[in-house]
Amino acid sequence: MPQRVVQPSFTGGELAPSLHKRSDLAKYSSGLKTCLNFFCHPHGGISNRAGFEFIVETKDSSKASRLIDFQFNADDTYILEFGDQYMRVIRLGAQVELASTPSAWASGTTYAKTDHVSYGGVNYYSKVDSNLGNQPDISPTEWYPLTGLVVEIPTPYLEAELFDIKFTQSADVITLAHKNHPISELSRAGHTLWSLDTITFGANVDAPTGLIATPSGMDDDDLTYYYQVTAVDEDGKESLPSTEASALVDSNWQVGEKVDLSWTAVTGADRYNVYCSRSGLYGYIGTTYGTAFVDTNISPDTSDTPPIAKDPFAFSGDYPGAVGYHQQRLAYASTTNEIEKIIFSRISEFHNLNVSFPQKASDAITMRLNSNEVNEVRHLISMNDLIVMTSGAIWKITSGDNGFSFDNIRAYPQSKSGASNMRPLAVNETVLYTLPKSGVVRDLTYTLEVDGYAGNNLSVMADHMFRGYSMASWAYAQEPDSIVWVVRSDGTMLGLTYLREHQIWGWHRHTTDGYFEDVAVISEGDIDAVYAVVRRTVNGNTVRYIERMHERIDDVVEDAFFVDSGLSYDGAPVTTLAGLDHLEAKSVVALADGNVVRDLTVTSGSITLPYSASKVHVGLEYECDAATLEPPIEGTIGRVKSASRLIVSLLDSRGLWAGPDEDNLVEMKQRYLEAWGDPTELFTGDVEIGIEASWENRGELFLRQKDPLPSTI
């Protein structure tokens, strides 16, 4: 008996083959057998992904590159290309270049770090401050040569180290951590002004100098008092103490006896704290806003002592490999010598690791995660608590409702699964991470029931995408469709449509004529732009391109961009399009004024269209496939069924093919009232497709988009 079957949603994504008979599962009714180059919308439909537009070739295509996002504010957002000992900058879909050729180098001029000059037809970047008299072409320590006008700075990171860099950002500064190098900060002063500097740990304010202690009115001098002074800035940040000064005083101190203290003023100091030692331990005796103080035998408060210098990251083997902010402190973790140790900076003094004795609440904190195994700290994520992900477990470090200080923080294990080295993603109040061995993706969020953190295995319904693979990198694009983009070790891009509050997660696969190697996302206007490093073979050569997923424009067919490594032309009608050197000898497809043009080959960087067009998108072709599961009709799973009629609800679509399988497809006909020569318009509504009935499968349906055109089902 004929039956009507409706699938109203595809939010379950592509399900693993092991689940293709599991019609009892809730996700079965919203799942797909295949979801290739389609993605799931959180509201239920699927669309073919937009194409990737070509941005630029990496500096050295023979080596891998890594993309890191950098957002200063809503307008100033960047993608940073880190390669073998260099960094370049991309902004709003274009490589950042100097506005013009810099001024010529002058031997008598002192240059600051980040200054640019030209010399001998080459542009240079100043690597140091106080750069005077160093001729650029023979001074590699002071000057770094550029390629044309391309903005670039040197870095210490080798190709093999790029994907082990951990980073965190505050305003216009990114802190970069790698165990092989001193921890550094990348700062931005403008689109073309970037500087990478090794962090110098210590107080923000210099210690006072020239301290003199002068006793007066003493009847005897049988006791020695010692003094130190610290400078304090207007934010309350305190320097290290001055060199101590001593004074011989009367052990039977009388009224009128005193010690006069004086010192040299410190730039940036708002006030000064004075400390005195009578028995080996310094204690606070007062504060002054000038550079003099009088001690009239004030009793030292030995619970308040001057800071003690501490720099635990001074030598190789002690460089931290993880970093993260939490409650106005910067946490550093996982050195080669002590992989389980975490050190927190002083409050609001991110480069200050100084302590006091006895310890103060604002002091730097050192802690170790004590467990049965010594596990490497890999990630530090700030939520309500600090989430610490190690190679063998996940912990929360909490201070409850109190301040985050040495005397009230506690560490509690949350999971024994551990995390891989790939940087976790913060998705609203949830953290996504991958397991260290299998690459399985899990989420983690606070649960009131257990007063801790727990989550779900997000890979279990699509485990075929993870078995035998590792995950190379990932990034989260919140707008417009809340998708996590994941680069797999074989060069496939996976997508996870994820909306935890509605219990939505569905996986989809994405391929191209090449291999995805890295992905990053940055806010650009009203969308989160997806950038990728793609390794391709062009004209017999291996090349690596940085490409950007185009906005999915599907309301005007002429604007549809559904080609990879593509470029666009918008101008007077032409038949020849140049500037395609990056696709030399490749077979490409074009959408010219809304019409599909095939059988094009790039020759000498150009293609020739069969007719003139004013708006053209040219690039590599890719097909998009979606296949349904066996209809969940009660009592029929596993039985042969035939589907002969298909009604598809479409939104702004054109060019879809459908059938019982990929070898028996019928094109959806939709040209109705368009004038002769005009492109077929996009269609919204229900369309019936007559497909050939077949008793050779179990009622599954196959849909394909072959053309560079939008399809939303």
Tens digits of per-residue pLDDT, 111-136? 999 999 999 999 999 999 999 999 99
- Helix, strand, coil in percent for the chain, rounding step 5: 5, 50, 50
- Looking up tokens 């690596």 gives 544
Report how far apart, in Å, the C-alpha atoms of 435 and of each of 285, 422, 483, 484 are.
54, 9, 20, 16
The single residue listed with the structure tokens 């590792």 is 470
Residue 179 to residues 184, 305, 336, Cα–Cα distance (Å) = 11, 33, 6
Measured CA to CA in angstroms, residue 528 lies from 132, 520, 657 at distances of: 43, 10, 30
Rounded distance between C-alpha atoms, residue 600 and residue 475, angstroms: 34
Q: What's 358-416 look like in SS3?
A: CCCCCCCEEEECCCCCCCCEEEEEECCCEEEEECCCEEEEECCCCCCCCCCCEEEEEEC
Say if CB 453 and CB 414 are below 8 A apart.
Answer: yes
Q: How far apart are CA 221 and CA 306, in angstroms?
A: 26
Q: What does the DSSP 8-state code read for residue 318?
A: -
* Tokens describing residue 38: 């389609």
State the DSSP string of 270-305.
SEEEEEEESSSSEEEEEEESSSEEEESSPPPBTTS-
Phi-psi region of 652 (alpha: psi -120 to 50; beta: other; left: phi over 0): left
Task: Measure the CA dihedral 326/332/338/339, to 10°.
Answer: 70
> For residues 74, 76, 80 and 85, what is the CA-based torsion angle, rounded to 10 degrees?
-140
Task: Count Cα atoms within 13 angstroms, Cβ side, for 447.
Answer: 10
pLDDT of residue 676: 64
Greatest Cα-to-Cα distance within the chain, rounded to the nearest angstrom? 118
Residues in the chain: 713
pLDDT digits (tens, 9 = 90+) for 161-191: 999 999 999 989 999 999 999 999 999 999 9
The answer to whether the CB of 19 falls within 8 A of the CB of 25 is yes
Q: Nearest-CA neighbor of 332 among 362, 356, 308, 367?
A: 367
pTM score: 0.93
Rounded distance between C-alpha atoms, residue 116 and residue 145, angstroms: 10
Tokens encoding 357: 């004795």
- pLDDT tens digit string along 663-691? 888 888 776 666 666 788 899 999 888 77
The stretches in the chain having pLDDT less than 70 are 1, 633-642, 671-677, 693-697
Q: What is the pLDDT at residue 677?
A: 66
Q: Alpha-carbon dihedral of residues 153, 154, 159, 163, nearest 10 degrees?
A: -60
Judged by DSSP in three states, 110 sits in: strand
Q: Which residue has the tokens 């988009």?
A: 705
Distance, CA of 473 to CA of 392 (rounded, Å): 20
Phi-psi region of 638 (alpha: psi -120 to 50; beta: other; left: phi over 0): left
CB atoms within 10 A of CB 299: 9
Query: How far is the CA of 324 from the CAs of 85, 133, 158, 698, in angstroms?
Result: 24, 40, 23, 52
Residue (of 482, 523, 475) closest to 501 by Cα position: 482
Rounded to a whole number of angstroms, the distance between the first and last alpha carbons of the chain is 27
CB atoms within 10 A of CB 373: 12
CA nearest 130: which of 154, 109, 110? 110
d(CA 513, CA 586) in angstroms, rounded, equals: 10
* DSSP assignment string, 80-105: EEEETTEEEEEETTEE-B-SSPPPBP
Contact 654, 554 (CB under 8 A): no
Bridge partners (DSSP) of residue 520 are: 531
Helix (H) or strand (E) segment spanning residue 213: strand 209-216
Contact 320, 379 (CB under 8 A): no
> Which residue ranges make up each domain of the chain?
13-50+624-705, 209-295, 564-620
C-alpha 68/C-alpha 72 separation (Å) is 13
Q: CB neighbours of 360 closer than 8 A, spacing ≥ 6?
A: 304
- Are 389 and 432 in contact, with CB atoms under 8 Å apart? no
Three-state DSSP class for residue 549? strand
447-455 own/partner pairs: CB under 8 Å, 24+ apart: 452/396, 452/412, 452/414, 453/385, 453/387, 453/394, 453/396, 453/414, 453/415, 454/414, 454/415, 455/430
- Which among 42, 54, 52, 56 has a CA at the least distance from the CA of 10? 42
**Contact status, residue 562 vs residue 51, Cβ threshold 8 Å:** yes
Whole-Å CA distances, 106 to 117, 118, 134, 205, 665: 9, 10, 9, 35, 70
Q: How far is residue 614's CA from residue 572's CA, in Å, rounded to a whole number? A: 5
The rounded radius of gyration (Å) of the Cα atoms in the chain is 32
Q: Per residue in 322-334, is it b (16+ CB within 10 Å) or e — as a string?
A: bbbbbeebbbbbb
Question: Measuring CA to CA, which residue among 629, 680, 631, 689 is closest to residue 658?
Answer: 689
* Cα–Cα distance for residue pair 345/347, rounded to 1 Å: 6
Res 634: pLDDT: 65
Tens digit of each residue's pLDDT (9 = 90 or more) over 536-548: 999 999 999 999 9
Query: DSSP letters along 231-257, please?
Result: EE-TT--BPPPPPPEEEEE-SS--TT-
